[in-house]
Structure 1
């Protein structure tokens, strides 16, 4: 694998360097169990050096011309195109991505870089009138400073780049902490891409370290103004708590318990097709994946029959095989957790409609029927290839079931009447929802984010610009002002 020796080092102030900790992190292929490489972990001193480097570089970086910043992002996009197969191979090896998912992730990453390349020319200010004679009010949009980004393992490249590229495009500098499960694709690969794009030293720094050594300090460190995190709600709550101590802003995209509601007038064939994709893409290890499929009584049995047939037909196994739809879970712990939730739910009355076997970390699709919201498999975020089917008497009850969750990230509604679908969608307490489509959607120019315990803030397009910039009011007097004393 090209670049593998480079990826055993951290990237601080434009230099590839060994970590200072006496502890190591192993990067393991979740399908084969192969050790890809081992790296010495970063410690608090490495983290401090990364933040200091980012701080030192930020002022000059924020003053670069918009065209310079755009050129660097265009160069990153060019590399993504040129290195497409290399990048897809890393995603397959590191995160257990099927080729279908890896190709989709590569495309999404390219889109966010291309969208971010437009940001330097979209940082618009305003001139506002004043009620004071001879005064003009100017409002400037400026970078926030240093941004700390914590990358996830499930869509590692795209979800890390979703914060890194907009932050850099708007004049910030970044310290990125990749997931220990995907050191390359949520961390060191981004450093490599930006270095080859001739990003100035210190603008992007990447340090990988154990949570026990640098996890809290990454957030508590006094330099970063914003902490961006994608991951579980539990960890997100901890990050928000730590960030609040320094009055830092957060961008948190957290867990989901996303529903698909299938109404009686839906196209059941299309709904089943969408549900299979929205549930089993990347083995369900996506924050937007379908967690509960709620079907009204009138069409429950007919939908279940179609869905089960399609789920049984999915090929599970080697993620590098182009025909594989379901690859490995990230590790054995995930497999054990899911098995327990399935067992506990069946003990509470859920019916096993499709019993998926496990081959190593590969869990074949499981479908459970007659699931209710109080069962673990419906109450928790599954993050695996298990599809719970829930009954609802009618649309009103389906909406009530959907909203009976602490999460509110994404969702889906199928109806033969688009306007009815939109009306129902407005009643769902979620940040995103799609009519006659599944829940896994992410477009670089559209607002992405959740409600309730699914996160704070929005990514994408103008919302990303807002997240990574601040406004400054500069009042200008063009004639002497008269004061009362």
Structure 2
């Protein structure tokens, strides 16, 4: 997977092979730290979408008819190919701007998704139902959705893609993937090489890097049975409107404005460590980062000191260098948005305790207090290493402030009394909640997703994948034709 000699150079992946797009489009693959173009991906257009859909439909029927053991074996081979792929970690570092530890996590987590999906392939897919007819056999069975269109983000392109691709394939679907233009390789074409090495049959997994028009055609295409989108709430709303008019199944994993509650009995050192990781990990560029720290007044001063010290100690720079804690913001648009959110909050009376500066797209971890609760820094998803902190006088006030948002993705509660912290966690309006741990959590068997502005549809992970990527069908069989009055 070295640069310049990659099999995907200037290519898309259709019908089991890498080839240049018919219209000759291309996407530069940039090192997010240096800005250097180090590779090239093919840029598909809407005609490529139509052609890929047509071949996927044929391939999917053959794939679904295969014994489950064959599907599982290919997924296991893909996991092994991924773990053995030389250069994948460096590719993620360069294409996403993450540090090596985050890249290693993605590879391990994606391999785990493949292994769990292989086990999913052998799960029971039906149940015998009781029936009021003496001579009828009645069953509820699960059948594949068909062709699943997948649109993935740039922040965790490998694992967020594989979390959908692997279970969808395991259950007999075909997948047509449009990765983010920021990460067309680690989020798409390099994944295709993994499945190619695993012997996946042509057409069941195809990759079409491209722009907005490719994603729009994927959503609108009448033969794409389901759309799975991970990304911003604004784009998710547009997809929901389009897919809704077509009565198309959708699963939307959207943004979050997640709260970390530090109770008045919390171990401050542990709480600050959890808080720093929750807000600063991968430059805060995850939907499950903590965008609001809500802290009990009794521990607030100590918490702010510790959190500020931790933020100030982080090394920001080229993620390929040893010892770097944070890399660059993904692009100039994200940087400008983060700057605007922070500057507007300061104009409204907020105080920066540390950070708040940037050199190019390298943004210092930032701790902010006295933020107006009506400011965009408090009410919107930040996607930058900024930790706004509010001080409250009671647990009830903390819960009310945490729930005062349209988002509903994840929250965390930190406190020494685990029973009390758990009871407070149960009062939070969100789809995921963690006690004495950071907000960024993800496991292959856990139901991952959001409510409200954070998601629409089902959940990814474990048994939830059965609901997500199959449809229920009721089937009855009578031993002989049934007679009716007319």
Same fold flag (TM > 0.5): yes
Question: Is residue 91 from structure 1 mapped to residue 99 from structure 2 by the alignment?
Answer: no
Shift of 1:422: 1.5
CA gap 1:7/1:142 in 2 versus in 1, 3 angstroms: farther
| CA displacement 1:237-257 (0-9 Å, x = unmatched) | 111111112211111100000
| CA displacement 1:114-159 (0-9 Å, x = unmatched) | 1111111014210111111221211111111000000110000000
Shift of 1:178: 0.8
Shift of 1:199: 0.4
2:410 aligns with 410
Unaligned runs of 5+ in 1: none
Paired residues of 1:280 and 1:325 also in contact (CA < 8 A)? no
Runs of 4+ in 1 over 4 A off after TM superposition: 479-482
CA gap 1:369/1:65 in 2 versus in 1, 3 angstroms: same
1:143 aligns with 144
CA distance in 2, matches of 1:7, 1:254: 31
CA distance in 2, matches of 1:294, 1:189: 41
Q: Which moved more, 1:369-378 or 1:299-308?
A: 369-378
Shift of 1:17: 1.6
CA distance in 1, matches of 2:251, 2:239: 10
Shift of 1:373: 2.1
After TM superposition, the structure 1 = structure 2 runs for residues 2-13 of structure 1, keeping only pairs within 5 Å, are 4-13=6-15
Paired residues of 2:11 and 2:43 also in contact (CA < 8 A)? no
1:221 aligns with 221
| CA displacement 1:271-303 (0-9 Å, x = unmatched) | 111111111111000010111110011211111
CA distance in 1, matches of 2:466, 2:273: 35
1:111 aligns with 112
| CA displacement 1:34-93 (0-9 Å, x = unmatched) | 01233442111111111111101111100111110111000011112212x511111001
After TM superposition, the structure 1 = structure 2 runs for residues 101-180 of structure 1, keeping only pairs within 5 Å, are 101-180=102-181
| CA displacement 1:400-437 (0-9 Å, x = unmatched) | 11111111111100111112112111111111010000
| CA displacement 1:191-220 (0-9 Å, x = unmatched) | 111011000010011111111x32311100
After TM superposition, the structure 1 = structure 2 runs for residues 57-456 of structure 1, keeping only pairs within 5 Å, are 57-83=59-85, 85-211=86-212, 213-456=213-456
| CA displacement 1:88-125 (0-9 Å, x = unmatched) | 11100100011121112122111111111111101421
SS at match of 2:21: coil
| CA displacement 1:146-182 (0-9 Å, x = unmatched) | 0000011000000011111111110000110011000
Paired residues of 1:141 and 1:469 also in contact (CA < 8 A)? yes
CA distance in 2, matches of 1:276, 1:100: 16
Paired residues of 1:12 and 1:49 also in contact (CA < 8 A)? no
Shift of 1:310: 1.1
CA gap 1:243/1:480 in 2 versus in 1, 3 angstroms: closer
SS at match of 1:118: helix
Q: Which moved more, 1:238-247 or 1:170-179?
A: 238-247
Match for residue 37 of structure 1 among 39, 44, 57: 39
RMSD: 1.4
Shift of 1:19: 1.7
Paired residues of 2:312 and 2:355 also in contact (CA < 8 A)? no
Paired residues of 1:328 and 1:363 also in contact (CA < 8 A)? yes
Paired residues of 2:8 and 2:190 also in contact (CA < 8 A)? no
CA distance in 1, matches of 2:149, 2:110: 19
SS at match of 1:159: helix
CA distance in 2, matches of 1:264, 1:484: 74
CA distance in 2, matches of 1:40, 1:474: 44
Shift of 1:479: 5.2
CA distance in 1, matches of 2:60, 2:335: 43
Paired residues of 2:342 and 2:356 also in contact (CA < 8 A)? no
SS at match of 2:228: strand
Paired residues of 2:447 and 2:460 also in contact (CA < 8 A)? yes
Question: Is residue 475 from structure 1 mapped to residue 476 from structure 2 by the alignment?
Answer: yes
SS at match of 2:463: helix
Shift of 1:231: 0.4
Paired residues of 1:98 and 1:322 also in contact (CA < 8 A)? no
Q: Which moved more, 1:34-43 or 1:357-366?
A: 34-43
| TM-score (norm: length of structure 1) | 0.97
| CA displacement 1:332-361 (0-9 Å, x = unmatched) | 111111111111001111111003431221
Unaligned runs of 5+ in 2: none
Paired residues of 1:99 and 1:321 also in contact (CA < 8 A)? no
Paired residues of 1:371 and 1:391 also in contact (CA < 8 A)? no
Paired residues of 1:43 and 1:214 also in contact (CA < 8 A)? yes
CA distance in 2, matches of 1:124, 1:42: 36
